[in-house]
């Protein structure tokens, strides 16, 4: 089972369309989500702008490639839901949001180790960052 983390805290998964791997995406089909591994090549992101959701895997909390993929998708114009999935820690939530993710999907074990209060503490991600401090 998994838990969805948003700025409001923990929630159940409300995306019922299912996910397919990148190599299973059909042209102009947008009724499902697309799963991307963290090592997806940037050129593979072209044409994903109609997906209902893109879910990027984080195989390790030390693997930040998913943040780069999210930022690239947003800069390319992706307006759909963007979800980080896997080993994202509460301390990384602000970075996930700044990179363009709308939500984070974690497993029940991580949710037990890092309860909702820890994630909600970091939900004010727009005001507490280095660039905001520099701007005054």
Q: Where are the domains of the chain?
A: 2-135
Is residue 29 scored above 70 in pLDDT? no
Would you place residue 136 in the very low, low, confident or very high pLDDT band (cuts 50, 70, 90)?
Answer: low
- Does 32 have pLDDT greater than 90? no
Per-residue b or e along 63-94, where b marks 16 or more CB atoms closer than 10 Å to that residue's CB: eeebbebbeebeeeebebebbbbbbbbbebbb
Specify the pLDDT at position 25. Answer: 78
Mean pLDDT score, 5-14: 95
| pLDDT score at 59 | 96
2-135: which CATH topology?
Rossmann fold (3.40.50)
Check pLDDT > 70 for residue 132.
Answer: no
């Amino acid at each position: 089972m998994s838990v969805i983390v948003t700025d409001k805290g923990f929630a159940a998964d409300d995306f019922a369309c299912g996910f397919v791997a990148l190599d299973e995406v059909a042209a102009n089909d947008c009724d499902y989500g697309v799963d991307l591994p963290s090592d997806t090549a940037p050129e593979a992101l072209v044409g994903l702008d109609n997906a209902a959701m893109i879910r990027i895997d984080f195989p390790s909390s030390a693997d930040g490639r998913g943040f780069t993929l999210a930022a690239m998708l947003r800069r390319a114009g992706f307006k759909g839901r963007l979800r980080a999935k896997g080993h994202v820690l509460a301390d990384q939530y602000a970075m996930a949001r700044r990179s363009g993710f709308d939500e984070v999907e974690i497993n029940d074990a991580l949710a037990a180790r890092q309860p909702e209060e820890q994630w909600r503490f970091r939900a004010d991600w727009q005001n507490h960052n280095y660039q905001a401090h520099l701007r005054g």
